[in-house]
Chains A and B, each alone.
Chain A
Amino acid sequence: MPEVRDDATRARAIRLEDRTPVRPALWARRTHKWIAWLVGVQALLWMLSGLYMTAISIDTIHGDHLVHPADTTPLLHSGRLLGADDLVARHPGLTAFRLKRFMGRQVYEVRDAQGVRLVDAESGASVGPLDAALAGRVARSFYRGAAPVETVELLHQAPQEVSTRPLPMWRVSFRDRSETTLYLSATTGELLAKRHDLWRWFDVLWMLHIMDYESRSDVNNRLLQVAAALGLGFSLSGVWLLFYSFRRRVRT
């Protein structure tokens, strides 16, 4: 045993003579490794998700390529358009309206005591709420691909992938490779969201990136804060370790 200690002391003395800072190097390595055990897997997930989110264009993730560009046809002022006073008379409690184009014709989106709905801008006849057939046609008119519609469902509860959108909504799924799903407002026919596999992967990876496994949106959660603080220690200890990693070991 004493011999071993002597060897160790001698080795240390030799290293000290070579001005190789053994102890700090050891501590740097130890710290870096220790933190690695704590957040190594998360750091791997950060890098993996970060690469995915940066490498794929956000426009692609948003699914802009899945639908036609917005209809730019201007409104026409035919003399038969209902006036504001007509709308006020027809819709008790009218607070707002909007003249726009919908499926090749002009409609008013009116907001009255009963909520929001679409009416034909000339006849005043109700256009919505959308039934399954119309929802399918509307979705088809947005969709750029050639794949057939697979399912058309009316939803009164928002699935997680469109949790912030207003209800009720139609979910129209297409039978294409990226499992495209278009969500439409059942009252106004508005395109609420475009979802496809690249978006769904993005969402899962974003969840992993911000470590909010429930709402997938809270960047201020405690778990992330602790992990990020450890991550900062991780990177700083890595930098520290770099100072010792490029010295040539003098062997005696």
Chain B
Amino acid sequence: MTRWMRTLHKWVGLVLAAQFVLWMASGLAISLLDHEEVQGHHHRAAVAAVTPAWPVGTLTPAQMLAAAPHAVRSVETAWLRDRAVYRLAAGESAWLVDARSGERVTVDAATAAAIAAADYVGPGQAGAPALIGAATLEARGHHAPIWRVDFDDEDHTTLYASGQDGRILERRNDLWRWFDIAWMLHIMDYTDRDDFNNPLVVTAAAGGLWIALTGVWLLLASLRIRRTARPVVVT
């Protein structure tokens, strides 16, 4: 039995050897990379403690609904810098309307630059915002159009803002980029780096569990062997 266990431990180990090293190395990296910094919190401006009162004289939500180009699921108040706006949402799309004039508000480069600058604290200077047509790996899970604003700080901070409603979508930096590689290796999703339910990682994890179980067996068996072997050595 133990011989079988050893053989299986060896062969499954041979197949999974590289992944074992990668799991442990990436796991170690994830545990060492400060998660707050990975999330970019150290370059994030504190949220204003006091939200300004909603001004008198804005258009009514009913007017917003009447003028909306298509069905709307929610209408909410928001501020785009100093401008009172309504955010209208329907499914995955959202857009802004000036709360006083009723004009559609587009998030242009200047607005994106201002949004990014307001969200950022640190020594970096913002570069010119770049409009991205399709979500990249760094801005995955979000819908285009997306503004990308790079800062020239040590961490190479990049902020992503929605081209639809001006929300900050992601705060990325070099630490996150390392984290993301480690995460990719850890969950074995080499394309989207998102799906930890992929068949490859499930299979590898099943093999890993097999290695662990046979390993425990062998470890306990080695105890028993040593105990029975000792008298032989003595004589």
Contact = CB atoms under 8 A, between A and B. Distances in A.
A84 to B, nearest CB: 4
B28 A79 contact: no
A58 B202 contact: no
Given A43-B215, A54-B205, A93-B53, A228 B31 contact: yes
Nearest to A218: B35
A83 B212 contact: no
Contacts of B216: 40-41, 44
A50 interface: yes
Contacts of B51: 95-96, 111
Interface stretch (A19-27, A69-77, A155-163): A69-77
B80 to A, nearest CB: 14
A25 B31 CA distance: 31
Given A54-B196, A74-B71, A231-B28, A97 B212 contact: no
Nearest to B75: A99
A99 B74 contact: yes
A224 B31 contact: yes
Interface in B157-198: 187, 196-198
Given A54-B205, A232-B24, A239-B21, A75 B53 contact: no
Interface in A33-63: 33, 36-37, 40-41, 43-44, 46-48, 50-51, 53-58
The secondary-structure label for the interface of chain B is: helix
Contacts of A245: 10
A76 B68 CA distance: 11
Interface string B52-68: 11111111111001100
Contacts of B62: 77-79, 81, 83
Contacts of B31: 210, 219-221, 224-225, 228
Interface stretch (B12-20, B110-118, B136-144): B12-20
B77 interface: yes
A36 B215 contact: yes
Contacts of A210: 31
A51 B28 contact: no
Interface string B119-152: 0000000000000000000000000000000000
Interface in B207-235: 208-209, 211-213, 215-216, 219, 222
A212 to B, nearest CB: 10
B20 A54 contact: no
A204 B58 CA distance: 50
A14 interface: no
Contacts, number: 171
A96 to B, nearest CB: 5
Contact of A219 (B25, B30, B78): B30
A98 interface: yes
B61 A232 contact: no
A47 B208 contact: yes
B32 interface: yes
Contacts of B61: 77, 81, 83-84, 99
A220 B31 CA distance: 5
Contacts of B32: 220, 225
Contact of A77 (B21, B35, B55, B65): B65
A235 B74 contact: no
Contacts of B33: 220
Which 10 A-B pairs rank lowest in CB-CB distance, beginning with the nearest? A77-B65, A74-B71, A83-B60, A98-B76, A228-B28, A235-B20, A51-B205, A232-B24, A231-B24, A44-B212
18 contacts: A40-B212, A40-B216, A47-B208, A51-B202, A55-B197, A55-B202, A74-B73, A79-B62, A81-B65, A83-B62, A84-B54, A84-B60, A84-B77, A84-B99, A95-B52, A228-B27, A231-B23, A242-B17
Interface of A: 33, 36-37, 40-41, 43-44, 46-48, 50-51, 53-58, 72, 74-79, 81-85, 87-88, 93-101, 111, 210, 218-221, 224-225, 228-229, 231-232, 234-236, 238-239, 242, 245-246
